[in-house]
Amino acid sequence: MVEEPQVIEALRGVQDPELGRSIVELGMVHDVEVDAGEVRFTLALTTLACPLRESIVENARQAVLGLGNVEDVHVELREMTEEEKQQIWPEKPQQQQAGVAEQLNDIQHVVAVMSGKGGVGKSSVAALLAVALRREGKRVGVLDADITGPSIPKMFGLSGTPPMGPVGIIPAETEEGIRVMSINLLLPEEDEAVIWRGPLISGAIRQFWGDVLWADLDYLIVDLPPGTSDASLTVMQSMPLNGVVLVTSPQGLAGMVVRKAARMAEKLTIPLIGVVENMSYAECPNCGERIDIFGPSKSEEVAEQVNAPFLGRLPLDPELAERCDAGEIEAYEGEDFEPIAEAIAERVPEEASEPMMAQAHPQGPRGR
Amino acid sequence: MVEEPQVIEALRGVQDPELGRSIVELGMVHDVEVDAGEVRFTLALTTLACPLRESIVENARQAVLGLGNVEDVHVELREMTEEEKQQIWPEKPQQQQAGVAEQLNDIQHVVAVMSGKGGVGKSSVAALLAVALRREGKRVGVLDADITGPSIPKMFGLSGTPPMGPVGIIPAETEEGIRVMSINLLLPEEDEAVIWRGPLISGAIRQFWGDVLWADLDYLIVDLPPGTSDASLTVMQSMPLNGVVLVTSPQGLAGMVVRKAARMAEKLTIPLIGVVENMSYAECPNCGERIDIFGPSKSEEVAEQVNAPFLGRLPLDPELAERCDAGEIEAYEGEDFEPIAEAIAERVPEEASEPMMAQAHPQGPRGR
């Protein structure tokens, strides 16, 4: 059965979007009671007129339901006392407002890497693209939008919690100077599960955009999770994307799911930069034979079907898998990827898509 | 910009959970107006006292927001006129109630196949498991819970809309008699994107459980999508699972994400049946060399870390990829998988987990 400390722990993950801090740390959570599967608690808000009230309550509910074994959650609301408010804003109220970082950032191009289907090496392609652009002297960041299966930090050998500056979260930095933000940098252990429903996933992604001090970047690469649900939708609706790179594998099945991803981008009017085929073939280390592990390539066909340029093939390279597992992707030679990175950089549209407004995210924790 | 027909098309995907039919087909949608990014329409419900009112409205909102380019959605509610009601229930009201199918079904064991990480061959393992059990003479069903990247129908060569019987949806049937339900059977085209936020995803999965006439089954295999968000959470919370099979690949990265999946199952008190390693190695067709494509295996270690038995390894077999793409997975020999299927069947716990109650899904379209 669920107990009080677990409820508080779950609520610690819920932020007040206006203040950008955990509702538990802000002293908003009171009177937690657990009675068989029923959980009750009171949320003390800075003002009951808070326009984001519904989403805070919903996020808190979902966080507690996410514990499992919880059948129902009752949330009472009250306004904070003056004393309680004093503790939150010791001197200047709203000193650390959400979205301040965003106003300070200057990001030239935002490129999302997407596949629809998992495991085709989307994260490797996103990381290799960042590395290749960095080698060209560009200022590069990677936003890991895969909240439930984040693999970017491990590839770059990053761990540890990023520090919180006065206006936002400072991204982690790789050896070569690529700035990285990922939920895995914020978890106590890298294999901790993030059991969140959509609204929390979307909230985290919007914070990675609005509350992270990316500073000046030539390219921000966004690594999308598989699927066309909340995470992809939030990235496409709330960030000014210049375009999407689609990653596929030679399997017909992968092609089908990639076409779904392409249709999503089309519906949301995000330009397709092109299609990259990963895991194209392997080379036998003994006899040099080229093996079509996933069958013959159909990716040029897929590119044609989705009306996007075909950008090239990447072989299955055990060295890349090893480098990724060892956190050394920046040391990987990756000659095969160079022409692909060049083709992508050439084709990134100069103009970014217009992000949607706050109303499009009735459940989101932040109005952007 | 969004136009009226698109709005109606989007709303066509929203069901009245009580009636199990599209709100558009039921004649519930009226007075659609689009004005710059704002969409307005009226929903005529059979009764304004409908307990599922909120979820219908929310699902309708989300469906329209999913179109993109929509900033705000205003939904007016009214009660249907007597004449309108007559058209819905020509003779017996509520003849086809949600959840009736569930009461008629008799399912002995429900086994979820999960990986956390995408592309490790979870769907192939789910399908191979179904085929192996079927070869043993068992009555088997496959519930494809991967709503945004469904691959089960293609593997079995299934297409076409399943018929709607008087008490529920009749699942598709493979050549060998495996019953299958997947969102891809309900889409006009297999590569149509399902751009839904979490509540709709969860609703579809719950319908696949409650409104599909699975009839008598020895095993229902549930193919989970990657990730630990809505789809996995809904399956774990709302179905009586006997256990979870975890699929991993030799990559260290896959191991990390699989450990997240294991932690989720643990938190929701679902027993782990064991760990299967897929894509373990490939064989060179020229010289027979065994190639560790994704590096040396670490899966026994992963199994130990998550406290579950290690059930075996599957090589990367181009024939399997081909058979899957051709819809002929039932014709695949799959000798390597036989002992794994046996080990799974032996280890499935007899007792199922207790599903959570309806209140745990405030946004779901059905009270279960």
The model's pLDDT over A170-221, given as tens digits with 9 standing for 90+, comes to 999 999 999 999 999 988 888 888 888 888 899 899 999 999 999 999 999 9
Query: What is the ipTM for the molecules in this complex?
Result: 0.70
In whole angstroms, give the CA distance from residue B253 to residue A147: 14
The single-letter DSSP state of residue B336 is: G
Domains and CATH numbers, chain A: 4-88 (3.30.300.130), 100-352 (3.40.50.300)
Indicate the residue of A149, A264, A282 with minimum beta-carbon distance to B293.
A282
**Helix or strand holding residue A354 (H, E):** none
B93 to each of A219, B44, B191, how far by Cα in Å? 59, 17, 36
Q: Cα B72 to chain center, whole Å?
A: 29
Region A252-268 average pLDDT = 90
pLDDT at A97: 57
Closest-CA residue of A relative to B123 is: A253
**Helix or strand holding residue B64 (H, E):** helix B53-65
Residue B314 three-state SS: coil
Residues of A in contact with B203 (CB under 8 A): none
In whole angstroms, give the CA distance from residue A339 to residue A311: 8
Indicate the residue of B70, B120, B324 with minimum beta-carbon distance to A253.
B324
- Counting as low any pLDDT under 70, the low residues of chain B are 49-51, 86-98, 356-368
Backbone angles phi, psi at A155, to 5 degrees: -60, -35
| Residue A264 in this model has a pLDDT that exceeds 60 | yes
Indicate the residue of B197, B256, B291 with minimum beta-carbon distance to A198.
B197
The model's pLDDT over B291-316, given as tens digits with 9 standing for 90+, comes to 988 888 889 999 999 999 999 999 99
- Residues in chain A, overall count: 368
The model's pLDDT over A130-151, given as tens digits with 9 standing for 90+, comes to 999 999 999 999 999 999 999 9
The single-letter DSSP state of residue A111 is: E
- CB pair distance less than 8 Å for B284 and A264: no
Q: Which residue(s) pair with B212 in the sheet?
A: B169
pLDDT at A103: 86
The number of helices, as runs of H, and strands, as runs of E, in chain A is 12, 15
Residues of A in contact with B304 (CB under 8 A): none
CA–CA min distance A93, chain B (Å): 30
In whole angstroms, give the CA distance from residue B201 to residue B227: 13
Closest-CA residue of B relative to A249 is: B119
Backbone angles phi, psi at A6, to 5 degrees: -65, -40
Q: pLDDT higher for A88 or A83?
A: A83
Residues of A in contact with B360 (CB under 8 A): 65, 70-72
- CB pair distance less than 8 Å for B118 and A295: no
Q: Which residue(s) pair with B240 in the sheet?
A: none
Residue A69 three-state SS: coil
- CB pair distance less than 8 Å for A191 and B256: yes
Residue partners of A74: CB distance under 8 A and separation at least 6: A38, A39, A40, A41
Indicate the residue of B229, B249, B286 with minimum beta-carbon distance to A197.
B229
A11 and A29 Cβ atoms separated by less than 8 Å: yes
- CB pair distance less than 8 Å for B72 and A294: no
CA angle at A88 for the pair A87 and A90, rounded to the nearest 5°: 65
CA–CA min distance B327, chain A (Å): 10
- CB pair distance less than 8 Å for A263 and B147: no
| Residue A6 in this model has a pLDDT that exceeds 90 | no
Residues of A in contact with B263 (CB under 8 A): 191-193
CA–CA min distance A92, chain B (Å): 33
Q: Which of A6, A35, A197, A200 to mutate to test the interface with B (most CBs of B within 10 A)?
A: A197
Indicate the residue of A201, A253, A259 with minimum beta-carbon distance to B151.
A253
Quick one: pLDDT band at residue A266, thresholds 50, 70, 90? Answer: very high
Amino acid at residue number A358: A
B141 and B217 Cβ atoms separated by less than 8 Å: yes
In whole angstroms, give the CA distance from residue B195 to residue A113: 17
Residues of A in contact with B233 (CB under 8 A): 66, 195, 197
| Residue A74 in this model has a pLDDT that exceeds 60 | yes
In whole angstroms, give the CA distance from residue A170 to residue B176: 57
Closest-CA residue of A relative to B250 is: A321
Amino acid at residue number A100: V
Closest CA to B364 of B237, B266, B225, B243: B237
Residue B272 three-state SS: strand
In whole angstroms, give the CA distance from residue B133 to residue B366: 31
Closest-CA residue of B relative to A201 is: B229
Residue partners of B92: CB distance under 8 A and separation at least 6: none
In whole angstroms, give the CA distance from residue A32 to residue A43: 10
pLDDT at A95: 39
Amino acid at residue number A218: D
The model's pLDDT over A89-133, given as tens digits with 9 standing for 90+, comes to 543 333 345 678 888 899 999 999 999 788 888 999 999 999 999
CA–CA min distance A73, chain B (Å): 8
Q: pLDDT higher for A305 or A69?
A: A305
Indicate the residue of A71, A151, A324 with minimum beta-carbon distance to B356.
A71
Residues of A in contact with B232 (CB under 8 A): 195
pLDDT at A263: 93
Residue partners of A249: CB distance under 8 A and separation at least 6: A117, A120, A121, A277, A278, A279, A280, A294, A299, B119
Quick one: pLDDT band at residue A84, thresholds 50, 70, 90? Answer: confident
